[in-house]
Amino acid sequence: MSSSAAPIDDAVLETIAERAQTHSLIETVQTERTGKMVSLVVTIFDSNRYPPHIQVARLEIQWYTNGDYNFHYSGSRRKPTTSVVG
Higher pLDDT, 31 or 9: 9
Each residue's pLDDT tens digit, 61-86: 889 999 999 998 888 787 766 666 65
Taking residues 23-50, what's their average pLDDT?
A: 75
The domain segmentation of the chain, as residue ranges, is: 10-75
10 has a pLDDT exceeding 70: yes
Mean pLDDT to the nearest integer, 10-27: 87
User: For the range 31-39, what are the long-range contacts, defined as Cβ-Cβ under 8 Å and sequence gap of 24 or more?
Assistant: 37/3, 37/8, 38/3, 38/8, 38/62, 39/8, 39/10, 39/13
* pLDDT band of 1, cuts 50, 70, 90: very low
The whole-number pLDDT of residue 67 equals 94
